[in-house]
Structure 1
Amino acid sequence: MAWQRISDTDRQVLHDEVAGLPSEQPNDDIESRLFDLTALRLQLALIEADTGDFERHRKRVVELAGLLEEKSNVPAVKEQLGLRAAVQEAQWWEGTNLELLEDLRLRLRGLVRLLERKERTVIYTNFQDEVRDIRDEDVVPMPKMTGAQYEKKVREYLKNHQDHLVIHRLRTNQPLTETDLEGLEQTLSEIGDEDGPRLLNDLLERNGAPSLAWFVRSLVGMDRSAAQEAFAEFLNDRSLSPDQIRFVEMIVDQLTARGVMPPEALYEPPFTRLHHAGPDELFTGKEDVVEAVFQQIETIHEGIQTRAG
């Protein structure tokens, strides 16, 4: 009979098209299942009143919610905007219960897989604990705010308080006093409550900022009028060619958007679109102008290079 002599091709067709059982369902991705595990441990910690375990797993959820901010253009992530924002606030956790945690699990479990693997700084573990003996230990205080939460709050504060005296001075390229810098440092530290000084220091280190003033200006940018005033000598120089004037205008554009600009950026796009060899060739015969431009950039950065205190 034909069924007793199955060819390799027929066997492959049976394997691919027939062999699967009707009850088979595709498995969830590992990220969703690991998030389920974290949610379960949160629920267990809540039931057992284990504040240490609860705080550890809570921080993992908050970290993931913060990372999802960068995926807000994805419709599924956008739908959970309210929940993602809420879980990053301490108030949401103060009155949480098992039902809320289960709702959290169901609504976020399918989103964590959208994160790039390099973004997943959260580490899941599933080790079997071995209890050897029991001894009393001092309780290790857990931070109330993660670095990602703190950075988000700082960025929001700076965005919404550009009329703050010190921030305004930074934007308009006015000199800052030591008192100005110390006041700004205190204001941003207070955003992180008792962990503020440590969180602020970590934030500056993560962003490679040489000072707080540098970091703040890099976020709020420079006022365009202030940047134009700083380079007015070149913008009004009628001896410069249109491309040379455009080069100076691009410096103003960059400072307006970014607040700070290392001199080596003048040898990179978008500046090299005017001349591939950079300002030295673009300003051939006007070496004094190039030197003055570099000096002006250095002058703009003076006063924001050193940390307060």
Structure 2
Amino acid sequence: MRIRTNLNQVKPFLSYIQEVQEGSFWNAISFELLEEMRLKLRELMKYRTTISVTPKVIDISDTEYEGVIREDNLSFTDMDKYRIRVLEALSQLAESQLVIQKIRRAKPLTEFELNGLQSLLLERDSNFTIADLHKKFDESIDLEKFIRLIVGLEPEYVKHEFDRFRKNHTKMNANQIQFLNLLEQEIAKAGGIFIERLYDYPFTRFHSNSIDGVFNESESNEIFEILDEFKIG
């Protein structure tokens, strides 16, 4: 099946089609993101064409075969799987809720709170600790910021930080508004942002130079000042 991308009705959606074809889209997938993309693209199904392919016959003897699923072929990365395990454990630990609330609002933790959180997780699942996970992925990232990568940030908190920019720039165009909305969503979901990520898709969907093409130099500098609070590494 193929979508007829030469049709005028389809062209406005080409950027979304390109997005779902990127491996990075599926590595960071969530139910909410998948549902959002489904709603955007569902109307395009009427423009699909079906390609007829003759089935290939393979003559293979009926012998026993033991299949092994390679972990590096799974849809989710190791980080995604660990994140799910940590979030499941944390959601069942009432004692951790105040600490998690502080993390999701980017408030600093005391050493006592940090050690207490790791102890609670260790009691819940003795097979791993946040410290071990931290070493495995990127020890150069501050441990507190690393925990943010796991639990994310409150969308309302992220939006509040960017509202300062909006109040100073009330005449933004559609591209600028959408860029900021996407930036907020990415930060909340990922718990922060690597600055180099700004120059990759989907941010380059708005302009090939990303933020530097969407905003003027003064505006970009204001946004980078806000990002100082959220940047990772």
What interval of TM-score do these two structures reach, taking the shorter chain for normalisation? Answer: 0.5 to 0.7
Deviations 1:83-114 (A, max 9, x none): xxxxxxxxxxxxxxxxxxxxxxxxxxxxxx25
Q: Against the structure 1 CA distance between its residues 117 and 26, is the aligned structure 2 distance closer, same or farther, given a 3 Å change threshold?
A: farther
What is the aligned partner in structure 1 of residue 137 from structure 2?
Answer: 207
- Compared with structure 1, are the counterparts of its residues 167 and 301 closer, same or farther at alpha carbon in structure 2 (3 Å cutoff)? farther
Residues 1:212 and 1:190: Cα distance change in structure 2 (over 3 Å):
farther
Taking every aligned residue pair, what percent have the same amino acid on both sides?
25
- Once the two structures are TM-superposed, the CA of residue 115 in structure 1 deviates from its matched residue by 0.8
Determine which of 244, 256, 260 is the counterpart of 2:176: 244
> How far off is 1:224 after superposition?
1.0
Q: Deviations over 1:166-218 (max 9, x none)?
A: 1111112223233322222332233344x75xx44332222325243223222
Q: C-alpha distance in 2, partners of 1:273/1:171?
A: 28
Deviation at 1:267, TM superposition (A): 0.9
Aligned residues: 167
Alignment equivalent of 1:217, drawn from 127, 148, 160: 148
Q: Which residue among 219, 222, 233 is the counterpart of 1:292?
A: 222
The code of the aligned residue for 1:215 comes to F
Could you tell me which residue of structure 1 aligns to residue 194 of structure 2? 262
Gaps of 5+ in 2: 1-59, 75-80
1:168 maps to 101
Does the aligned pair in 2 maintain the 1:235–1:248 contact within 8 Å?
Answer: no
Instruction: Check whether the contact 1:231–1:296 (CA below 8 A) recurs between aligned residues.
Output: yes
What SS does the aligned partner of 2:145 have? Answer: helix
Q: C-alpha separation between the residues in 2 aligned to 1:235 and 1:161? A: 37
Q: What are the equivalent positions in structure 2 for 1:1-309 lying under 5 Å apart?
A: 26-29=62-65, 32=66, 113=67, 115-116=69-70, 118=72, 153-160=85-92, 164-193=97-126, 199-208=129-138, 210-236=141-167, 237-283=169-215, 286-301=216-231
Contact preservation (8 Å) 1:169, 1:176: yes
Instruction: Please give the TM-score of this superposition, normalised by the length of structure 1.
Output: 0.46
Q: Which amino acid is the alignment partner of residue 148 of structure 2?
A: R
Q: For the Cα contact (< 8 Å) 1:218–1:258, is it kept in 2? A: yes
Contact 1:154-1:191 within 8 A present in 2 as well: no
Aligned twin of 2:26? none
1:281 Cα offset (Å)? 1.6
1:153–1:252 distance in 2 versus 1, CA, 3 Å: closer
1:221 and 1:170 mapped to 2: Cα distance? 8
Q: 1-side partners of 2:136 and 2:90: how far apart? A: 18
Runs of at least 5 residues in structure 1 that lack an aligned partner in the other structure = 1-23, 33-112, 121-148
> What SS does the aligned partner of 2:229 have?
helix
Partner of 1:39: none
Larger radius of gyration: 1
For 1:168 and 1:255, the matched residues in 2 are separated by 16
SS at match of 2:230: helix
Name the SS for the 1:158 alignment partner: helix
- The corresponding residue for 2:42 is none
Q: TM-score, normalised by structure 2?
A: 0.59
| Deviation of 1:25 (Å) | 6.3
- Conserved? CA contact 1:280–1:290, under 8 Å: yes
Q: Deviations over 1:207-239 (max 9, x none)?
A: 325243223222221111101011111233214
> Which one scores higher on RCO, CA 8 angstroms, separation ≥ 6?
2
- Contact 1:153–1:191, Cα closer than 8 Å, also in 2: no
SS of match in other structure, 1:240? coil
Q: Is the 8 A contact 2:93 2:120 kept in 1?
A: no
